[in-house]
Structures are given as C-alpha cells and as structure tokens.
Structure 1
Amino acid sequence: MPSDRGRNTRPGLRVLVVGFAGHQGKEYLPIVRESADIVGGVDPAPAASSLADEWGFPHYDVLSEAFEQVDFDAAVVTVPHSEHFPICVELLAHGRHVIKEKPFAVTEQEARQLIQLAGRADRSVFTLLQRNFHPVFRFARENLARIGEPYWFSYDYHFNLAHPTTGWRASREQAMGGVLLDMGYHLIDVLSGMFPAPEPPRVHSAFGHQYQEMRDRRLEDLVSLMCSYPSTRLAGSLRISRHNHEKIEHLCVLGAEGALNVAPGIATLHSIGGLPLERCTWEGPKIDVLRSMFAHHLGHLDDRQYRQDHFRCQLTAVRTIDGIYRDRLREQDRLAGRCA
C-alpha cells in the first residue's frame, strides 16, 4: 500500500474517487490523499478492486452502492466525457460537492443544468484545469495589463502521437467530440480567464482528420479556429492537433504596448520593438501544480463567490465549444441538403 508519509489531511474532509482506475484517476490518487481522506472508490473496471485494496479503501462497481455504504463530502470524478453529466447530477442530488476532469459539461444546456442544480444544493462543481495553477500561466494573467490593450492572440497546442487515437477517446459515444473538446477545452479556458467577456467569441472553424477511421466517427484530429470578440477589438487564432511532428504549446498575445509569450516552462513580456522586459521560468515537477490545484479546490468547496466565478468562466468555455460543434453540424446538414 502506498505510504501516507508527509500527508497533510484536513480533518473531516471525506472524498469518494469515481473512475479512479483509469490513467488520470491513478495519477490523482496520491495527490487527493495528501489533502483529504479517500473513503471509497467507484469504478467497474476489472483492475479497480485490486487497486482499491492496494490503496486501502472500499471499492464499489456503481455509484448507488457508494451512497448506501459510505459517507463522503465530495467526489473526484475522472470518467469518459459521456459519463460526466449523469454522475454529476446524481452527486448533486445527494448533496455532494464535485471536483471533476474537464469539460465542465459537453453542451451549454448541460452546463446550465449543472449550475442550477449546484445552486439548489449549495454545492460546488469545480473543473480540474492545471494551467490555472501553473506558475507560468499565473504570471501571464497577472502581467497581461502591462502589454496594453490586447488586439491579437495565437495559440498552438499539438501532440505528436504516431498512431490513431485509442481508448474511449476513439469512441464517438464516449468522447462526444475530438480534439476541440478534449485538448481545446484547456486553451479556451485559458483564454476565457485572460479575456473575460459577456459573450463567447465569434468563431470560424476548420476541422481536419489524419486517419480515416476518425473521419468516419466524426472525431476531428485537428481543428483550426479564427476568433473575434464583439465587445472589444480582440481577435486571434487557435490550432490544435494530436499528430503533429512535435509536441508543442505556445500562446502569443499582442497588445498596444507590447507582447506576451507563454509556454509551459516560460513566459516572457516584450516591448513593442521585441525587447524582453521580464521573464518567468518554472522547471518544477508537474505534481506540484496538481497539488496546488487540488488543495485550492478542496479548500474552497464552500466558498460561494469562488464557486460563482468558476461557473461563469466554465459556462463561457462550454458555450464556445458547443457553439462551434453546432455550427459545424448545421453546415454539414446544409451541404447534405444541397447535394440531395
């Protein structure tokens, strides 16, 4: 059984882990245990029972069993996209807080329902988005005003997978979207936090496919977006893919008085002429960012103002992505009607 040495458990905070036997769930287990008591786990996977035994908590195949057998205050949810909404609805109906993997929701309708249910239950639904707690991205948010009014951004995020997408992300029924929903959610969340606006941006999109099987399943391997914000003069582009020649993430923001460049390990402020003004670098381990993220969310479960701010930002991200997919579907229907 993994050691609890150095654990800093908050007295009384009991957490249920849902979907803990998957890759992301297993990564989070030691971090959650540092800040709370894991009192049970829900996962129907064959390996879940032995993993729960290894970690020393009860295992349940379905959520209803956990409600009957164990008391808990919050649940950490790491499941395929298709399972997010029904699990969150059930948890909120039983008065539990939720800390979940992205996306907050797949559709705007689901997002609004979750916010309404959370309000009735006076409970939080927090989304696990690491960049909000990364020192480099925090530096970028805190120093954005130094470049003056932003007018352009470009954001590239690429993996370099040498094979078709596998696992539940290769299933339309489970993934419910391709790279836009999976990888793009992180980027749109970053932009929503840096450029808060009353309405989502206007977006023109182009979808691409590296592999025929992904085209057949309507799961994009690549997406390119052109965005404009009606309430400001800000515009920009995003490019996201799974099968690039190299793994890369880079955000550039141009402002009236300078520029800001951000990558996972470094952020740099530049003058108008390109002279570097200040730089933030961070080479710490990923687990430190995860610790900060979980400790923050677990420590703000009952903070209603933080909860509402989180809901506003997540609703913007969901509305943006849902709008892109719906526009894409309307265009496909229009073209199909023209060819009929």
Structure 2
Amino acid sequence: MKRRAAVIGLGRQALEDHLPGLLSSGMAELVAICDSEPNVLRTEQDVLKVPGFTRAADLLDTVRPDFVIVAVPHHAGRAVIQDCAARGVHVMKEKPFATSLSEARDLAAICAAGRVELMVTLQRRFNPLYTSVPQLLDQIGTPFLIDGQYTFHTADPGGGWRGDVNRAGGGCIIDMGYHLVDLLLWYFGMPTRVLAELSASAVPGGGYDAEDTAVIQLGYDNGLYGSLLLSRWMAPRTEKLHVVGTRGAVLLTKGRVQRLALDGTVVEELSRPQAPVSASAAQIDHFCRVLDGRRPNISGPDAHLAHAAFVASCYESKKAGRYIDPKEMA
C-alpha cells in the first residue's frame, strides 16, 4: 500500500520538482495540496484533482497524511513542522533545514519530541552522477584543492522574501548555496576554518539585505583547502565542483562528472540527461523506506545541524572579519 502524501506550498520548487516526483513515485501517492494563495490552489486542484487547503493545520486534521512535503518560504517552515510534529506526521522539508543554527536545534528537538522523521530534500543525493563522486575521488591521489561555483543571473536578486534576512535567514549562501555546502560536507566533512566575504550590492538601492554574492574560503587540518563562489547575479549560469589531487582531478558539472589526468585529459566520464523527476521520485521512495525502517535517514535533523553550523560560520566570519571554525558553532 502506498504512503499517503501531501504537498504544502505550491511554489516553483513544488510544481517543477516535488509534485512530479510524487506522481512518479512507486511508494507514495498524492492525497492533498495546500497553499495560502486561493488562486494558486484552485489552479493546481483543477489539474491534480485532490483536496486543497489554504491552512496547513486544516489539511493535517482533515486528511491525516502519512507525510507531507513542505516547500514554503524559509520563515514559514518552523510553524508547519511544529504542526506536523504535534500530529505525528512525518516531513520532507525543502532546503534549508532552518533559517539559523538556533532554529535548527529547536527543530531537531521538536521532531525528536514528536517522534517524527524529517528529511531535508536534496535531490543530488539521489542522482547517480553525484553518488559516483566519492569513488572517483579515491582515484586522484590526495585531494588538496577545491573550486566550487554555483552562479546564475536573475534581474531581481533581492525580490520578495528572499531578499529579507529576517525572513530568509540569509541570501545565496543559505538558499541556492545550500546544495554546494551539502556536497562539500558529504564528500569531505566539516572544514576547520571558514572565511566569507559577501555583499548585497549588485543592485544599488535595491532595498534588500540578503547577500546576492559570496566568496567562501575554507580549509581542513589535513591540508585540503579551496573556495566556493555563489551568486544570483553573476552570469553565465555555472554549477561545478572541481577537486584537484596529486594524481589527477574530478570535475563535477550539471549532468556530467569527469575524472581528469594531471594534464587535463579526460580519463573517464559519466553523463546523464537531467532527470529531476527521477531524482525526486527516488528521494520520495527512499523516505518511504525510512518510514518502513528499511533505510537510514541520510538527510535528517542531526546531519543538517552541521549544515546550519557551516552557514552560521560564514555569516559570523563576515561579521567578525576573521576565520571561524564551524565546529565551534555547533
């Protein structure tokens, strides 16, 4: 029998990712949707033919789903998670886990007290290209340099709630940059020093305070070091992680991963046409297996306390003007 799932928040991420993933899932079925905007809700109801609600609590009390996918603005996530935990409803939460380290700690405690599973949605964890990287890294000797970039241009980088630090928790680091941070922690663990420069000045007089661009320098005690460049103003669109070692390199880009010789020659390559629905469905099915006790929760609250500590160390570094050890934040 399929798990009964609902989607709360019908923004772009839900429409392009979570809903198609649910409809393609072999282990879950969509039973309800929720959005605070009635017009948006009616439009999707006409297509999906499931009950719709403008309040998350009403959906939870009426439909009583097994789990929900929460894809609401960052500042609204806590209240929805609290509502779910109070009713024993499990949660898949669109990244980030929380808007601050203190909120992350609170949410972890709320989930534990409510005995609910929460998994942060990071589809790259379920894409074979990304899961192949650790094996390729084993073949390049000792990695010593990381070059990570995630950039694109949007005409209004501070538009809506995303430009407000109080509501979003930050800008490109905590939002789009969360994916690159996750890859860093997944492949290499937590660095011991972080130094961040960031600004919200791409649009003079733009009226927003959440950073549109950031450069993060980082280092590990084993000699590995590097930087991450994040921007929602900088063209062209770039998504890459380049890791250089003593015997070669690994270059991960969207849709392709390559192992390179020292002179840059491609030794081996894996490519995959972008299949976001496939990755989303795989993640949903994995979560269902977590609920069945057949899989570990690889993206739960405990894991994402580290993400929250890394993000917090970036903002603290900018404020203090010096390197910060993220482990001390945790």
Would you say the 8 A contact 1:172–1:218 is kept in 2?
Answer: yes
Map residues 77-88 of structure 1 onto 2, 5 A cutoff: 77-88=70-81
User: Structure 2: which amino acid aligns with 1:224?
Assistant: V
Unmatched segments (≥5 aa) in structure 1: 1-10, 333-340
Change (3 A) 1:149 1:92: farther
Rounded to whole Å, the distance in 1 between the matches of 2:213 and 2:267 is 34
Rounded to whole Å, the distance in 2 between the matches of 1:223 and 1:276 is 30
Q: State how many pairs are aligned.
A: 317
Would you say the 8 A contact 1:123–1:301 is kept in 2?
Answer: no
Classify the secondary structure of the residue corresponding to 1:160.
coil
Q: Which runs of 4+ in 1 moved over 6 A?
A: none
Partner of 1:241: 231
* Higher RCO (Cα < 8 Å, 6 or more apart): 2
Classify the secondary structure of the residue corresponding to 2:194.
strand
Quick one: which of 208, 211, 220 aligns to 2:203? 211
Would you say the 8 A contact 1:192–1:313 is kept in 2?
Answer: no
Would you say the 8 A contact 1:189–1:313 is kept in 2?
Answer: no
Change (3 A) 1:296 1:237: same
How far apart are 1:309 and its partner, in Å? Answer: 6.2
How far apart are 1:14 and its partner, in Å? Answer: 0.9
How far apart are 1:24 and its partner, in Å? Answer: 1.5
User: Structure 1: which amino acid aligns with 2:13?
Assistant: Q
Would you say the 8 A contact 1:179–1:220 is kept in 2?
Answer: yes
Rounded to whole Å, the distance in 2 between the matches of 1:129 and 1:45 is 26
Quick one: which of 15, 18, 35 aligns to 1:26? 15
How far apart are 1:300 and its partner, in Å? Answer: 2.1
How far apart are 1:236 and its partner, in Å? Answer: 0.9
Map residues 258-337 of structure 1 onto 2, 5 A cutoff: 258-303=248-293, 306-307=296-297, 310-330=300-320
Quick one: which of 74, 94, 100 aligns to 2:93? 100
Would you say the 8 A contact 2:119–2:299 is kept in 1?
Answer: no
How far apart are 1:83 and its partner, in Å? Answer: 0.9
Map residues 146-295 of structure 1 onto 2, 5 A cutoff: 146-197=139-190, 200-208=191-199, 209-214=201-206, 216-230=207-221, 232-295=222-285
Rounded to whole Å, the distance in 1 between the matches of 2:192 and 2:13 is 30
Would you say the 8 A contact 2:151–2:232 is kept in 1?
Answer: yes
Rounded to whole Å, the distance in 1 between the matches of 2:184 and 2:253 is 14
Would you say the 8 A contact 2:197–2:216 is kept in 1?
Answer: yes
Rounded to whole Å, the distance in 2 between the matches of 1:192 and 1:37 is 32
Change (3 A) 1:273 1:330: closer
Partner of 1:40: 32
How far apart are 1:308 and its partner, in Å? Answer: 6.1
Would you say the 8 A contact 1:202–1:227 is kept in 2?
Answer: yes
**TM-score, length-scaled by structure 1:** 0.85
Rounded to whole Å, the distance in 2 between the matches of 1:163 and 1:113 is 32
Change (3 A) 1:171 1:213: farther
Q: Aligned-pair RMSD on alpha carbons?
A: 2.3
Change (3 A) 1:308 1:221: closer
How far apart are 1:53 and its partner, in Å? Answer: 4.0
Partner of 1:137: 130
Change (3 A) 1:97 1:193: same
How far apart are 1:49 and its partner, in Å? Answer: 3.0
User: Is 1:65 aligned with 2:58?
Assistant: yes
Rounded to whole Å, the distance in 1 between the matches of 2:239 and 2:71 is 24
Rounded to whole Å, the distance in 2 between the matches of 1:265 and 1:68 is 41
Partner of 1:338: none
Classify the secondary structure of the residue corresponding to 2:138.
helix
Partner of 2:327: none
Would you say the 8 A contact 1:201–1:320 is kept in 2?
Answer: no
Classify the secondary structure of the residue corresponding to 2:237.
strand
Would you say the 8 A contact 1:39–1:57 is kept in 2?
Answer: yes
Partner of 1:110: 103
How far apart are 1:162 and its partner, in Å? Answer: 3.6
Classify the secondary structure of the residue corresponding to 1:306.
coil
User: Structure 2: which amino acid aligns with 1:274?
Assistant: G
Moved more, 248-257 or 323-332: 323-332
Would you say the 8 A contact 1:267–1:281 is kept in 2?
Answer: yes
